[in-house]
Amino acid sequence: MPHTWDPERYLTYADERGRPFLDLIARIDADSPRRVVDLGCGPGNLTGLLAQRWPDAEVLGLDSSPEMIARAQAPGVRFAVGDLREWVSQERGQVDVLVSNATLQWVPGHLELLPRLVERVSPGGWFAFQVPGNLDEPSHTIRQELAGDERFAAHTAGVAVPDSHDPEQYLDALAAAGCVVDAWETTYLHVLTGDDPVFTWVSGTGARPTLEALPAGLREEFEEEFKARLRTAYPRREYGVLLPFRRVFVVARVRP
């Protein structure tokens, strides 16, 4: 079921969302790559960091969302609308650094896609990605339970939902594809402020396809109940609302 992304809503917590990207690329030990590609670049604010780190490289940011690409601007980066599955099928050359940040969880069967992505990386090159590891947290399970309610289920059936695997599964898949792999996980403890901040967070990412699938009237009913349940699951503390945010990281080097 098609949906759109809102770059402004997504960037509400840009600093918090950017921390995993910084931790990911810090583990890429590439000296002077010629071609760097960011698959699922979103609004491009983080892709610009790749151009800053490797100013002599040709840097491409690719995203399937026209709304995100319309917002994307960064010196030294060429942005384009495109689906990463089409890119991996159509790309004939190889890149030296391939990055995918918080994107593969939206690609069904992406574990089986990994060897094909590795083929697009030059020998000695790097493939790095991170995905959510918090899909069993209330921020996701409450949405899932509510979407299955008889009031909403007819509209939310078949919407896109994120899915990911544990680090060792990614390590096994990429080691079998001929890579030396560094895989780990980190749980960030984000302190959020504002009204219903966890709802604001998830409505820009994991919950957005569900919300867009609901018609006016039902969407507002869903949102109000979703907010109420999230407030119970994530109570406000004197310093703000605490959102545990587990991420899975993988940095693989293709054997020369």
Averaged pLDDT of the chain: 95
Place of tokens 């997504």: 10
CB-based contacts of 45, cutoff 8 Å, min separation 6: 11, 14, 18, 72, 74
Average pLDDT over residues 244-253: 98
The tens digit of pLDDT for each residue in 179-203 reads 999 999 999 999 999 999 999 999 9
Contact 174, 252 (CB under 8 A): yes
| pTM of the full structure | 0.94
Separation between Cα atoms, residue 57 and residue 38, nearest integer Å: 13
Contact 51, 78 (CB under 8 A): no
Confidence category of residue 2, pLDDT binned at 50, 70, 90: low
Separation between Cα atoms, residue 156 and residue 1, nearest integer Å: 9
The tens digit of pLDDT for each residue in 52-84 reads 999 999 999 999 999 999 999 999 999 999 999
Domains of the chain, start order: 7-254 (3.40.50.150)
Separation between Cα atoms, residue 132 and residue 102, nearest integer Å: 7
